[in-house]
């Protein structure tokens, strides 16, 4: 039986089920759709969101967080794989982390920075370890000898969607004591000790240490039709989505002219029947070796001096093609395609730092020491895509999230903060 909280549901007396934050979490669920558990639990996973929000606000009121400034040992900004992994490790270390998962706002929706990170904008996640989409029982029967199988509980495999994976990570972090605020951090003063953070609802929080896991948002073309088909054929990550059945053996479009576009087009050529690489200029900005790979690939056709003006499709099939405009003579034509991949860069979400931390020329946080997550400001750590312009994968983000929590724990301990 699905379980839900209604207006008349019983709960902590001081926290009505219709509170603003519960409604916000319900809005988030409605924006992404219901997250079904696929057998992970008997009830629908939609019950997790309001339940966890009630638990959190009970804890917030108990500590009177809003009426006085509380110095947190560790604050985590961001709610993608890096942020939740950091929260899980920090919570298990009894640091009681406070996570700012982001505000549910129209501005964040347009920017692609709603809570739960970029994975909340994807469908099936096939490359995160532990969630096989095939029948796992059948696999075990063919891959393992009988004497080994008998020690493993029989169960069927199940895939996982991006929103499901993020909600599961969120729930796991809460189970260990993580507290969550659904608001943005709009400014941070890193010149003071402890650090002073201000939220989008004018709350002030102090923190001894800070983990930045705000990620990087993909750059899109800004077309209304493009926004309509995000998650239905429009993507910004070939490695994440290129092997999905909807794209296999079908023509695809890649937009861009730099090294990232060359990589995306080359990767997609392994699955697509044909790849149209659309570029605004008559020569690539990419390195010569990357450009040569594309030009020598018989499955890639370059559409020079052209721009996508509209993404075509319908609600049933998703993307079915794109409309191209020649930038030389203004003529238009259509290309049949099952998907469009934007490879025109990413923008790290570091605006709120206001230049207080060292970044590269693209705005990505720079680590002070290789294979460590500490930044140029002592006590501030970074994890995930906000410091990674190369891999940009959920599993690598989760790994650096773990590292950042361990680094923060050791840094706090070295200063006698437990």
**Which domains are seen in the chain, by residue range?**
20-125+160-218+347-414 (3.50.50.60), 224-344 (3.50.50.60)
72, pLDDT greater than 90: yes
The top-scoring range by mean pLDDT among 30-34, 222-226, 295-299 is: 295-299
Residue 131 confidence (pLDDT):
81
Instruction: Count CA within 13 A, CB hemisphere, residue 23.
Output: 6
Residue 113, both tokens: 């920075």
104-118, 177-191, 383-397: which range is least confident on average?
A: 104-118
Give 376 or 135, the one with higher predicted confidence.
376
Mean pLDDT of 274-281: 98
Q: Are 271 and 249 in contact (CB under 8 A)?
A: yes
Q: Are 369 and 335 in contact (CB under 8 A)?
A: no
What is the pLDDT confidence band of residue 303, given thresholds at 50, 70 and 90? very high
CA distance 383 to 138: 37
CA distance 126 to 175: 26
Q: Are 294 and 277 in contact (CB under 8 A)?
A: yes
Distances from the Cα of 206 to the Cαs of 195, 356, 358, in angstroms?
Answer: 5, 17, 21
DSSP string for residues in 110-164: HHT--TT-GGGG-SB--SSTT---S-HHHHHHHHS-HHHHTTS--------BHHH
127, pLDDT greater than 70: yes
Residue 158 confidence (pLDDT):
67
CA distance 19 to 16: 6
CA distance 130 to 126: 10
What is the pLDDT confidence band of residue 87, given thresholds at 50, 70 and 90? very high
DSSP string for residues in 196-228: EEEETTS-EEEEEEEEE---EEEP----HHHHH
124, pLDDT greater than 90: no
Give 68 or 292, the one with higher predicted confidence.
292
What is the pLDDT confidence band of residue 183, given thresholds at 50, 70 and 90? very high
Q: Are 122 and 230 in contact (CB under 8 A)?
A: no
Residue 58 confidence (pLDDT):
41
Mean pLDDT of 304-326: 97
163, pLDDT greater than 70: yes
CA torsion, ordered 27, 34, 310, 241, to nearest 10 deg? 130
Name the residue with tokens 């020491």: 369
CA distance 36 to 123: 13
118, pLDDT greater than 90: no
What is the pLDDT confidence band of residue 274, given thresholds at 50, 70 and 90? very high
Mean pLDDT of 351-380: 95
Q: Are 215 and 78 in contact (CB under 8 A)?
A: yes
Mean pLDDT of 122-141: 70
Tell me which residues are annotated as active site.
237, 240-241
What is the pLDDT confidence band of residue 240, given thresholds at 50, 70 and 90? confident
Residue 142 confidence (pLDDT):
63
Residue 96 confidence (pLDDT):
96
264, pLDDT greater than 90: yes
Residue 142, both tokens: 């063919």
Mean pLDDT of 62-77: 73
Distances from the Cα of 402 to the Cαs of 30, 79, 122, 287, 415, in angstroms?
Answer: 30, 14, 23, 34, 20
Global confidence as pTM = 0.73
For the chain, percent of residues with pLDDT exceeding 70: 77
Residue 356, both tokens: 């207080």
């Amino acid at each position: 039986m699905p379980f839900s909280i209604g207006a008349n549901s019983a709960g902590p007396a001081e926290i009505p089920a219709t509170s603003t934050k519960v409604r916000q979490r319900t809005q988030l669920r409605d924006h992404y759709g219901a997250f079904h558990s696929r057998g992970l639990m008997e009830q629908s996973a939609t019950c997790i969101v309001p339940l966890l929000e009630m638990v959190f606000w009970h804890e917030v009121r108990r500590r009177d967080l809003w009426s006085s400034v509380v110095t947190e040992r560790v604050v985590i900004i961001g709610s993608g794989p890096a942020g939740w992994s950091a929260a899980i490790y920090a919570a298990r270390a009894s640091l009681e982390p406070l996570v700012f998962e982001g505000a549910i706002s129209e501005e964040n929706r347009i920017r692609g920075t709603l809570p739960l990170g970029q994975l909340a904008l994807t469908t099936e996640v096939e490359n995160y370890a532990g969630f096989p989409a095939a029948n796992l029982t059948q696999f075990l029967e063919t891959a393992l000898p009988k004497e080994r199988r008998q020690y493993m509980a029989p169960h069927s495999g199940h895939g996982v969607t991006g929103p499901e994976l993020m909600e599961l990570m969120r729930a796991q972090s809460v189970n260990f004591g993580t507290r969550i605020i659904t608001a943005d951090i709009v400014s941070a003063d890193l010149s003071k000790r402890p650090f002073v953070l201000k939220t989008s609802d004018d709350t002030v929080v102090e923190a001894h240490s800070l983990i930045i896991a705000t990620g990087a948002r993909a750059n899109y073309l800004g077309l209304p039709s493009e926004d309509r088909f995000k998650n239905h054929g429009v993507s910004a990550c070939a490695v994440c989505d290129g092997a999905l059945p909807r794209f296999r053996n079908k023509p695809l479009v890649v937009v861009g002219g730099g090294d990232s576009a060359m990589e995306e087009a080359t990767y997609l050529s392994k699955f697509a029947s044909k790849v149209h690489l659309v570029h605004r200029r008559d020569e690539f900005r990419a390195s010569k070796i990357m450009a040569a790979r594309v030009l020598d690939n018989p499955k890639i056709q370059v559409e020079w001096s052209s721009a996508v003006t509209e993404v075509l499709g319908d609600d049933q099939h998703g993307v079915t093609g794109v409309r191209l405009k020649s930038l030389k003579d203004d003529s238009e034509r259509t290309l049949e395609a099952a998907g469009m991949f934007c490879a025109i860069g990413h923008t790290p979400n570091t605006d709120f730092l206001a230049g207080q931390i060292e970044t590269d020329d693209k705005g990505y946080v720079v680590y002070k020491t290789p294979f460590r997550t500490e930044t140029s400001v002592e006590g501030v750590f970074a994890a995930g895509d906000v410091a990674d312009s190369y891999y940009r994968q959920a599993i690598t983000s989760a790994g650096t999230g773990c590292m950042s929590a361990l680094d923060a724990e050791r840094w706090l301990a070295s200063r006698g903060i437990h």
